[in-house]
Amino acid sequence: MTANEVKQSIRNVPDYPIKGIQFKDITTALSKPECLRWMRDEMVKRYKGLGITQVVGIESRGFIIAPAVAMEIGAGFVPIRKPGKLPAETITVSYTKEYGTDSVEMHKGALNENDVVLIHDDILATGGSLMAAVELVKKAGVRKIYANCIIELEGLNGRKYLEERGVDIDCLFGIEVDE
């Protein structure tokens, strides 16, 4: 399996969630065991041995690969969710995305100053949701943060936005927005 083969298995959904957005649907890749295994294995290769203690997944597609990677590298899993989805006390960060505003939450106390964290999401677009996740994780005072996405939507400047804010981002592969 190669990055290009995984890339070819991703479906475009026009005008979702709003008119003018071409949504990159990774569920078609996730339904193929060889693609799912490749994504997990690539992330494990990149992050094993870095002392990561917690893998944070961003709702909802970040929940798919993140726990599998966490198990393989000997780390725990912490979810970042949309408001009102976590049962205990939370911390919240709001952000702007391509088509509106949103917020994300994490359980207070889920991370601490001894943690080395990998934040994972499926797609890097403009960088808003990932930056919000980074801000949540920073509030916990962790030792180090790594950030990863499966796909980078090239041309939306999400990488530049994150790097200008001190976030080192790694993506498994890039796709042009119109591709």
Inform me whether the pLDDT recorded for 65 exceeds 70. yes
Residue 38 lies in a domain: no
Write down the residue that tokens 């949504």 correspond to: 23
What is the predicted pLDDT for the residue at 53?
98
Considering just the CA atoms, what is the radius of gyration of the chain in Å?
A: 16
Catalytic residue chosen out of the listed positions 40, 61, 81, 159? 61
Whether 16 is in a domain gets the answer no
Q: What is the pTM of this model?
A: 0.94
Is 168 contained in some domain?
yes
Confirm if 107 and 83 have CB atoms less than 8 A apart: no
Is residue 154 flagged as an active site residue? Answer: no
Can you give the pLDDT at residue 165?
92
Q: How confident is the model at residue 177 (pLDDT cuts 50, 70, 90)?
A: confident
Residues 6+ apart with CB under 8 A from 79: 56, 57, 59, 63, 86, 106
Q: Is residue 15 part of a domain?
A: no
Question: The CATH number of the domain where 170 resides is what?
Answer: 3.40.50.2020
Domains in the chain, number: 1
Q: Which amino acid is at 130?
A: L
Using left for φ > 0, alpha for ψ between -120 and 50, and beta otherwise, residue 160 falls in alpha
Containing domain of residue 145, as a range?
A: 50-176
Catalytic residue among 46, 59, 72, 98: 98
Q: What percent of the chain has pLDDT over 90?
A: 87
**Residues 13-47 pLDDT 10s:** 999 988 988 899 999 999 999 999 999 999 999 99
Q: What is the pLDDT of residue 171?
A: 97
Assess if residue 90 is contained within a domain: yes
Of 53-62, 91-100, 107-116, the range with the lowest mean pLDDT is 91-100
Whether 98 has a pLDDT exceeding 70, the answer reads: no
Residue 113 lies in a domain: yes
Helix 33-47 to helix 62-73 angle, to the nearest 10 degrees? Answer: 50
Closest C-alpha to 43, from 63, 25, 68, 60 = 68
Return the HEC string of the chain: CCHHHHHHCCEEEECCCCCCCEEEECHHHHCCHHHHHHHHHHHHHHHCCCCCCEEEEECCCHHHHHHHHHHHHCCEEEEEECCCCCCCCEEEEEEEECCEEEEEEEECCCCCCCCEEEEEEEEECCCHHHHHHHHHHHHCCCCEEEEEEEEEEECCCHHHHHHHCCCCEEEEEEEECCC
pLDDT higher than 80, residue 97: no
Whether 11 is catalytic is no
Average pLDDT score over the chain: 94
Report the percentage of the chain scoring pLDDT > 70: 99
Whether the per-residue pLDDT at 144 is higher than 80: the answer is yes
Q: Is residue 56 part of a domain?
A: yes
Does any domain span residue 31? no
